[in-house]
């Protein structure tokens, strides 16, 4: 046994990982690659949060992109309609996502696993189709009609984080570190949840739902707590996505995005702490390669997903635990 708890150990690893990512711009200066790393950090944050929900809390939510989109849309709408800086609207977006998740959680999470998956999926679909079929103009500027929720085009071109003025040509570095900050918050939250008391509750509910209930643990309550926490950070990530790309639109809801992030979690390893980060990096590389092979990324994502579920159900993290037992001595042999 070491002197440090799981929680402290993982926070140390977190500091290391963040330091490495923070040092990357010293070696990588092309804007394209920096942009790719920003995208990686955004998806990694979403994947990490989803993994907390899916792998640890056991809530099979397919609605994560909705909370991401809520964060993004909040930034977009406040930027376009009221000219509010993303610095202010980003936290608002996270809170709105958390509130929405609370309402959805109350309605859905009482139900069984499969019901939760299907209902969250249906709710996302409903919201996205309502948004993209909306044609009623909310404001009209220079002959350009913008519906309340952006319609099929969404919002774009609203105010950014202000680094374009401040850093001129190197503006992307400013965004880079803002996104890194969000990733840091999101990772820290996930570690505290997984290795803290909440994680303990999830583990006991996963080991024996009946026994945990007999000891007075309210499964629905813990699920809703997990749902709201992860929605908050997913919403924050969506908000920073909108602030970076200056875009929020219905394309966020596409099925391929959902499967892409699911792929990151599965490839990295469901139920692990650090798997989704590696999974996100691997999937980003894979998609880059697929682009150069000719636009086959969705087929490739599908194949990777099937292969990993079939052959490596615990993902890279599980495989590496098997190979190098000393790397992650804390993991139990079987869940």
Partner 1 sequence: MDAILQIVITGLTLGSMYALGSVGLALTYGTMGMFNMAHGVFMTIGAYASYTAATVWGLPLPVAIAFGILAGGIVGALMHLLVVRFMLSRDDFQTTIMVATAGVAILFQDLILKQFGAYPFKQPVQIEGMFRIGNTVIAYQSIAIMAMAAVLIGAMAWLLTKTRFGLAIRATAMNQNAAKLMGVKTELTYLQVILIAGTLAAAAGILISSLASLSPGMGTNPLIRAFVICVVAGLGSVTGAGLTAIALGVMEAGIGYYFGARYGFPVMLGLVILVLIFRPAGLFGKQGVIRA
The residues binding partner 1 (CB under 8 A) are 54, 60, 107-108, 110-115, 117-119, 121-123, 125-126, 129-130, 133-134, 209-210, 213, 217-220, 255-256, 258-259, 262-263, 266, 296, 298-299, 301-306, 309-310, 313
Least distance in angstroms from the C-beta of 8 to partner 1: 30
- Here the tokens at position 194 are 């997984």
Distance CA 218, CA 263 (A): 31
Exposed/middle/buried for 39, CB within 10 Å: 0-12, 13-18, 19+?
A: middle
- In the block, tokens 């150990």 appear at 9
Distance CA 179, CA 156 (A): 19
Q: Which of 253, 252, 254, 261 is nearest to 301 (CA)?
A: 261
Toward partner 1, which CB reaches closer, 5 or 133?
A: 133
Toward partner 1, which CB reaches closer, 119 or 286?
A: 119
Least distance in angstroms from the C-beta of 253 to partner 1: 11
Q: Give the list of residues 6+ apart from residue 76 with CB closer than 8 angstroms, or none.
A: 150, 154, 155, 156, 158, 242, 247, 248
Contact, 271 vs 199, CB < 8 A? no
Q: Give the list of residues 6+ apart from residue 168 with CB closer than 8 angstroms, or none.
A: none
Toward partner 1, which CB reaches closer, 67 or 253?
A: 253
Toward partner 1, which CB reaches closer, 236 or 265?
A: 265
Toward partner 1, which CB reaches closer, 82 or 211?
A: 211
Q: Which of 161, 130, 160 is nearest to 148 (CA)?
A: 130
Least distance in angstroms from the C-beta of 305 to partner 1: 3
Toward partner 1, which CB reaches closer, 219 or 244?
A: 219
Least distance in angstroms from the C-beta of 60 to partner 1: 6
- Give CA 96 to chain center in angstroms: 16
Strand partners, 147: 137
Least distance in angstroms from the C-beta of 201 to partner 1: 13
Least distance in angstroms from the C-beta of 148 to partner 1: 14
Find the length of the chain: 335
Distance CA 248, CA 155 (A): 5
Distance CA 311, CA 303 (A): 12
Toward partner 1, which CB reaches closer, 16 or 288?
A: 288
Q: For 226-283, give the DSSP string.
A: HHHHHHHHHHHHHHHHHHHHTEE-GGGG-HHHHHHHHHHHHHH-TT-SSHHHHHHHHH
Least distance in angstroms from the C-beta of 61 to partner 1: 11
Toward partner 1, which CB reaches closer, 24 or 289?
A: 289
Toward partner 1, which CB reaches closer, 8 or 256?
A: 256
């Amino acid at each position: 046994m070491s002197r440090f708890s799981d929680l402290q150990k993982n926070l140390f690893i977190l500091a290391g990982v963040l330091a490495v990512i923070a040092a990357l711009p010293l070696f990588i200066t092309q804007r394209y690659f920096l942009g790719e790393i920003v995208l990686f950090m955004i998806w990694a944050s979403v994947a990490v949060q989803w993994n907390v929900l899916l792998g640890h809390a056991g809530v099979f939510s397919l609605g994560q992109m909705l909370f991401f989109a809520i964060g993004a849309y909040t930034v977009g709408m406040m930027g376009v309609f009221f000219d509010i800086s993303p610095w202010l609207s980003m936290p608002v977006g996270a809170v709105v996502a958390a509130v929405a998740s609370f309402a959805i959680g109350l309605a859905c999470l009482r139900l069984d696993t499969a019901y939760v998956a299907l209902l969250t999926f249906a709710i996302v679909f409903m919201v996205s189709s309502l948004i993209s079929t909306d044609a009623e103009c909310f404001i009209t500027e220079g002959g350009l009609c913008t519906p309340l929720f952006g319609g099929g085009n969404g919002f774009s071109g609203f105010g950014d984080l202000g680094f374009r003025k401040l850093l001129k040509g190197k503006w992307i570095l400013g965004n880079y570190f803002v996104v890194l900050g969000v990733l840091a918050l999101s990772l820290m939250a996930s570690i505290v949840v997984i290795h803290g008391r909440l994680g303990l509750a999830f583990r006991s509910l996963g080991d024996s739902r009946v026994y945990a209930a007999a000891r007075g643990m309210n499964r629905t309550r813990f699920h809703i707590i997990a749902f709201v926490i992860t929605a908050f950070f997913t919403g924050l990530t969506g908000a920073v996505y909108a602030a970076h790309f200056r875009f929020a639109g219905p394309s966020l809801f596409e099925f391929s995005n959902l499967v892409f992030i699911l792929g990151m979690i599965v490839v990295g390893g469901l139920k692990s702490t650090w798997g989704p980060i590696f999974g996100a990096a691997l999937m980003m590389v894979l998609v880059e390669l697929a682009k150069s092979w000719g636009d086959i990324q969705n087929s490739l994502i599908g194949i990777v997903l099937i292969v990993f579920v079939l052959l490596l159900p615990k993902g890279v993290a599980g495989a590496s635990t098997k190979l190098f037992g000393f790397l992650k001595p804390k993991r139990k042999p079987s869940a």
